[in-house]
A and B are shown apart, each in its own frame.
Chain A
Amino acid sequence: MTISGAVAQLLEIALALAGAPLLLGWVDQCRARLQNRRAPPLVQPYRVLRKLFNKESVVADSASALFRMAPYAKFGCMTLACAIVPTVSTDLPLATAADAIALVGLFALARTCLALAAMDIGTAFGGMGARRDMLIGFLAEPALLMTLFCVSLITHSTSLANMVETMNRRPFGLEPSLAFAGIAFTIVSLAENTRIPVDNPATHLELTMIHEALVLEYSGRHLAMLEWAASLKMFAYSCIGLALFFPWGIAEIDTPLAMITAVPVLAFKLAIGGVGLALIETISAKMRIFRVPEYLATAFLLAVIGLLVHQLLGA
């Protein structure tokens, strides 16, 4: 554990915690502008978090300890995920704790906790939301794993740090397998982060909710933790995508000073990603829930094809 490593790790965690709501705000702004509405201010998510933290958290009498624990569990998982993904540097001491597969497992743990908590209360919407969320997760996980496998086949490693370093050093070339994996990853992250075309995060109609139904019963600081965790999840997914497919600018072990430039580069890349996300959300319509398995199956298939194409063509 070197000084630069510790600095890099702390910088990453701080960046994630501070920057995730900003990313969310940026996406909301872009979307509003594309839809010809007046945009909320960029710091709106921070205000929401502050408001929620100041409110009292009301918990049902029938709730068990799981209900109270779940927000913290999810928040913790998401923070750890953001800490593992190389956002500004690959020299992360915590990275030895988890590779790509364990990362997927972290997301699964968070999802399970929340689903159980939603069912804990016993309301109808909680159960419905839990079921739908698990359906999406069940199909998205293999697709995500396949995408990560595709890249790890190319880089001969499952550790994210190694992957990023290898991808950084490869010469520029047209690689269809990476293109397919990229498209599959985009589809999966849209599904997992409850974005249109899979789920509308701003919906008020309970019967159309997937993720929102899970947090329907939470209030106050619990809700604040969950909202922050959701934005952390989006931050983590975006950073994974950038690290795997656009790894330029991330500092490596022997160049700690590159971290200074890595932060603006990251901000720039995330900004562009946010615009892209807003564009996708504006163009697409929310699909009916029974079409979601097909959609995710497409992602899985694209990832598998990318894998096969790499095996066959060596590209």
Chain B
Amino acid sequence: MRALVEQSINLYAAILLIVSFAMISQRRILSLVHLYTAQGVTLVLATLTVAGLTRQPDLYVSAALTAVLKVIVIPLGLHRIIDRMNVRWDVEPLLNIPMTMLVGIVLVVFSFNLAMPISQLSSSIARGTLGIALACVLLSFMMMIVRAKAIPQVIGFLAMENGLFFAATAATNGMPMIVELGIALDVLVGVLILSVFMFQIREQFDSLDIRHLEQLRDDGKDER
């Protein structure tokens, strides 16, 4: 039974990786938000499993915090933003999707290689999953780069933070409580600020296309 539970952490890690991949190959913004929620749920389950296996009460609190923040509050906020701003459904990728997926595979191989020597040194229960966490971070980073709209960039940012949280759970059985609280607060405030931002951008440009925000340049030819 215990072996099965330990294996379930590997399953959660694999699901996280798949969700990250699915995010970079999505065409619709609404499904991005759903995938982010799925990521949050997987994180909560993984944290609960690690908490149960290592008997650390801190991790239960951390799991509860993640559940409230990443499964309920932030997706609700994103849904509200999408509704209020009548965002068009298309994600507008700057790089076509099969190419994005190929680059994603390269990133995954790279992060697995990078994490291999370290995960052998870790003593935590889910150490093999550090590579997957790093891969999720890099995939979200790539998603931020190859998307031309504001909301996918924001979701990429949040997904990157999810990957880091999973890395913390995987490699070190969770960071100290105060750090986790601080990070959660930062994420919440960050999302609030970003939503304020998006309203301002929308007001100014009548669209959430990031390519409007490329006017400042360094070749002395900026349009002011």
Q: Which residue numbers of A lie inside 8 Å of B, CB to CB? A: 173-177, 179-180, 293-294, 297-298, 301-302, 304-305, 308-309, 311-315
Q: Which of B4, B18, B101 contacts A174 (CB 8 A)?
A: B4
Instruction: Contact check, B4 vs A173: say whether CB atoms are below 8 A apart.
Output: yes
In Å, the complex CA distance between A314 and B13 comes to: 13
Instruction: Contact check, A179 vs B105: say whether CB atoms are below 8 A apart.
Output: no
Instruction: Contact check, A305 vs B18: say whether CB atoms are below 8 A apart.
Output: yes
Chain B residue contacts of A293, Cβ below 8 A? 98
In Å, the complex CA distance between A298 and B104 comes to: 12
Instruction: Contact check, A315 vs B7: say whether CB atoms are below 8 A apart.
Output: yes
Q: Which of B3, B11, B25, B116 contacts A312 (CB 8 A)?
A: B116
Instruction: Contact check, B129 vs A313: say whether CB atoms are below 8 A apart.
Output: yes
In Å, the complex CA distance between A128 and B67 comes to: 52
What distance in Å separates the Cβ of A265 from its nearest Cβ neighbour in chain B? 25
Chain A residue contacts of B108, Cβ below 8 A? 305, 308
Residue of A nearest to B5 (CB): A174
Asked if B41 lies at the interface with its beta carbon under 8 angstroms from chain A, I say no
Q: Which residue numbers of B lie inside 8 Å of A, CB to CB? A: 3-4, 7-8, 10-11, 13-15, 17-18, 21, 25, 97-98, 101-102, 104-105, 108-109, 112, 116, 128-129, 131-132
In Å, the complex CA distance between A308 and B108 comes to: 8
Instruction: Contact check, B132 vs A309: say whether CB atoms are below 8 A apart.
Output: yes
Kindly name the residue among A294, A308, A309, A312 whose own CB sees the greatest number of chain B CB atoms within 10 A: A312
What distance in Å separates the Cβ of A285 from its nearest Cβ neighbour in chain B? 15
- 9 examples of A-B residue contacts, CB within 8 angstroms: A176-B11, A298-B25, A301-B104, A304-B105, A305-B18, A305-B108, A313-B128, A315-B7, A315-B10
In Å, the complex CA distance between A305 and B109 comes to: 9
Residue of A nearest to B12 (CB): A176
Instruction: Contact check, A308 vs B109: say whether CB atoms are below 8 A apart.
Output: yes
Contacts A305-B21, A314-B128 given; indicate if A174 touches B10 (C-beta within 8 A).
yes
Contacts A179-B14, A301-B101, A305-B17 given; indicate if A174 touches B116 (C-beta within 8 A).
no
Contacts A173-B4, A174-B7, A309-B17 given; indicate if A297 touches B112 (C-beta within 8 A).
no
What distance in Å separates the Cβ of B21 from its nearest Cβ neighbour in chain A? 7
Instruction: Contact check, B98 vs A297: say whether CB atoms are below 8 A apart.
Output: yes
In Å, the complex CA distance between A176 and B112 comes to: 16
In Å, the complex CA distance between A304 and B97 comes to: 17
Instruction: Contact check, A312 vs B128: say whether CB atoms are below 8 A apart.
Output: yes
Instruction: Contact check, B11 vs A174: say whether CB atoms are below 8 A apart.
Output: yes
Instruction: Contact check, A309 vs B14: say whether CB atoms are below 8 A apart.
Output: yes
Chain A residue contacts of B102, Cβ below 8 A? 297
Instruction: Contact check, B25 vs A294: say whether CB atoms are below 8 A apart.
Output: yes
Residue of A nearest to B128 (CB): A313
Residue of A nearest to B98 (CB): A297
Q: Which of B3, B13, B104, B105 contacts A313 (CB 8 A)?
A: B13
Chain A residue contacts of B7, Cβ below 8 A? 173-175, 315
In Å, the complex CA distance between A308 and B101 comes to: 15
What distance in Å separates the Cβ of B4 from its nearest Cβ neighbour in chain A? 7
Instruction: Contact check, B14 vs A177: say whether CB atoms are below 8 A apart.
Output: yes
In Å, the complex CA distance between A113 and B104 comes to: 36
Chain B residue contacts of A174, Cβ below 8 A? 4, 7-8, 10-11
In Å, the complex CA distance between A302 and B20 comes to: 12
In Å, the complex CA distance between A314 and B116 comes to: 12
Q: Which of A297, A309, A314 contacts B101 (CB 8 A)?
A: A297
- Given A297-B101, A312-B131, A315-B10, 6 other A-B contacts at CB below 8 A? A176-B10, A301-B101, A308-B109, A309-B14, A309-B17, A312-B112
